[in-house]
Structure 1
Amino acid sequence: MSERSTKDSQHSTAGAYVHPGEEFTRDTAYIEDRIVRDPARAQLPEGARAWPVEAGRYRLVAARACPWANRTLIVRRLLGLEDAVSVGLPGPVHDARSWTFDLDPGGKDPVLGIERLQQAYFARFPDYPRGITVPAVVEIATGQVVTNDFPRITEDFAKEWTEHHREGAPDLWPAALEEEMRQVMHHVYTEVNNGVYRCGFAGSQQAYEKAYARLWAALDGLEERLATRRYLMGEHITEADVRLFTTLVRFDPVYHGHFKCSRHKLTEMPNLWAYARDLFQTPGFGDTVDFEQIKQHYYVVHEDINPSQIVPAGPALENWLDPHGRESLGGSPFGEGTAPGPVPEAERVAPAHTPLPA
């Protein structure tokens, strides 16, 4: 892992920083260790380590505010991994050093016993030079970070943790669709998930306008794709939908204004808006979303974009429960599977933070 400037390291916990005159480029050098069913046969990048799947051994640290972490919360819930992989929930804001467990009694994670996620990173890598990012998986016994490679975490949850899936868990990675699905997810990541950041953290007018055009070309394409299919890959939910949803659910509260992605609101894109509501109203999606924490994170942490740190009161959110009408396209959320059960009491989003019923 290469060294970074102090300025970069201090701001990389947010995953981004404005560099005047430059286009935004995300640092994608993550800890590439994996947790797998058979470590001896795991295919790993050079220098990476394979860890064994073992219920109760690991803790997922995932701030609700972060879209990349929100993915892991959704997949964990859809697959029913709550009992196998516990979860730590940092608060929505952080300082230059780290995400903190300020929502927990005494400001410490009750399982790991730490105040800052940074402590888990430093327990394994004392000179860790990069940002302290979520999501991260931590080995409970040693308190050491295992991985923060967020796309691999969710893929391995789906493929390597199958013996711990709930009965009726959906197939989020159908083999017959995987090749096309990887192409779709790559497009969603580069053009939309990362595209909103490319707009928000552009360091020049030229960089911003280029990023803006690129983002809206992708959103227009997805609007067209979703006109004839209920979900990105067809009739059932896959991980591709999880990856798009976490950006869409943040679009009007944050990205439209804060990141200047303002050609249209999500509510003005008929197919994308109906699709997003369809997912939001599906167990496992909207019940992981905390709009209040989302807004606090972006508007407070990104002082370079919002120096006043004022958090907007809007937009109204009750419309997320409006009928979506996507049933007319056929299909069903879980295919041959079933919906997850109720959210564990300790993991429920406070009703005041979301329009979902209590």
Structure 2
Amino acid sequence: MTLRIYPVYSVNDTKFIFLLTGIPGKEDVHLWISIPFCLMYVISIVGNSVILFIVKTDPSLHEPMYIFLSMLAITDFALAISTMPTTLGIFLFNSREISLDTCFAQLFFIHSLSFIESSVLLLMAFDQFVAICNPLRYASIFTLPRIGKMGLVFVLRGVSLIFPLPFLLKRFQYCRVYILSHCYCLHQDLVKMACTDITVNYIYGFFLTVTVLGLDSLFIFLSYVMILKTVLKITSHTECLRALNTCVSHLCAVLLFYTPQLGLGLIHGYWKSSPPLLNLFLGYISLFVPPLMNPIVYTVKSQQLSARIIRMKNMGHEHQFYSGCYIRDDEI
């Protein structure tokens, strides 16, 4: 039996680095794997930017539903940007090393943005609930100042709850293999590499999961229970389907966000012997799929957004046509 001894490093050691992981065993084709990742980033950034541009420039879309959609687009845009440097660094340039401070900064942005996205999805569920269950009070509840205050509160909640994590991690000494499970930094990954007592981090991480993701998902579920009860009382089958159809986009966004998050939580908390590829796969889905799919789903389901995009496209073709034409003075 061989006794393997790992060196102990403190966070103050200037040589201390972590190694990120792309897809184990596929290092020789990382360059080819980078192509779909690049496409995902391009679609995510362009799609969310288009939604923000349309909502900002079209006064008819300055309504609570589209303002909440803009909040979701901003969060998805920032989430894509926060993972892009390390992900493309691994797959394009095989750059696996990341310093401790950079790792702390990345996990802060990833976790805080994930909590903010959870909050935005909760606000959108509340918006659906009021619009269907109490439409007469909708305009008085969702005023623009109140929407701004709700958004600010949830941003501050996400940032303030994650703010202690880098400092809790910074007090550790690390004595295990310094290879992270993903191509980005997560709190649960770094905790597993500490050779000191992690009880405080474990309790605080569990507290965050329950009070943010747990409560938000519970309130979203209760909102849809009330929505379903109200919709089933509608006698007209057509009106019932129309009311449910307004919730499809939000339900897709909720499932895309919470399903992989729940899977990762169960794996890290209770299924220690889970296959590494399953953990890796859920990690990629949880951070890459929502920013990619949310703009597509909302654009397809929203007639106003899709009509505005088609109009922009037609205007672009017309501008291209007229800019390529030469009109002589004697033809005017």
State the TM-score, normalizing by the size of structure 2. 0.28
Name the structure, 1 or 2, with higher relative contact order (CA <8 Å, separation 6+): 2
Q: Which has the larger radius of gyration?
A: 2
Q: Which has the higher helix share?
A: 2
